[in-house]
Amino acid sequence: MARSTARKRALNTLYEADEKGQDILSLLDERIAHPGAQTPLPDYAIQIVRGVAEHKRSIDATLDRHSTRWPLGRMHVIDRNLLRIAAWEMLYNPEVPDKVAIDEALSLAKSLSDSDAPSFIHGLLSAVQQEKDEESEHEEAETVRRQEASRIADLALAEADKAEQEISGIDAEDTHESEHQIDGSAGKGDGFDPDVTTNEDENNGLQGEEVSLADLTLTMPEELYGESSDQ
């Protein structure tokens, strides 16, 4: 009941500013400073008026977009500001369920406007609610898509890191094995076997040893000996 009263007081302030063509916030400040015979404006009424004033351009554009009968400027002043209050609650006050905002607007329309107002207001606010739900679903789907894309990217990055680590490990093993083979070959080439004699060693041995004529024995063919005896 308290918020219903606050909505009606907010409607009175918005209606007066609209009728006079006065700035909403300046009139609100006057009503707060000088309430007159009325009780001070409830906090929620002040919140509504300030919210409508702050988002008036966006709210009016939304209402105009969904109006099937006439532009917002041609609507009855009561209806126009009832729609502004309900639209603000639906779009900018998450504490109020959409159904509550619509029902409260219909209740005020039945008591303050003509007989055609409730059905018109209900249809327009239902269109606003549908658009809001569709945008919410789109945002949720987009969030899920981004999360999935991020998850896939993280998996791909992890797989790439794993593959790089495996390749680095294989390269390290190949390098170690190659170094081991090179060290083994070098050891074999530097080894010396004293039992192995090369032709070069034999030639060097002959060159270094002195040979006397007495050590040499010449063998002559027998035919040569015979010829020498006959002569």
Predicted confidence (pLDDT) per residue in 149-199, tens digit:
777 888 788 878 778 887 877 766 666 666 666 666 555 555 545 554 555
Q: Stretch 111-134: mean pLDDT, rounded?
A: 96
The correct answer on CATH 1.10.940.10 for the domain covering 2-138 is yes
Residue 192 tokens, joined: 């010396």
> For position 7, what pLDDT does the model report?
98
> For position 228, what pLDDT does the model report?
43
CA–CA dist 195, 45 (Å, integer): 115
Task: Specify the amino acid at residue 139.
Answer: E
- pTM value surpassing 0.85: no
CA–CA dist 27, 13 (Å, integer): 8
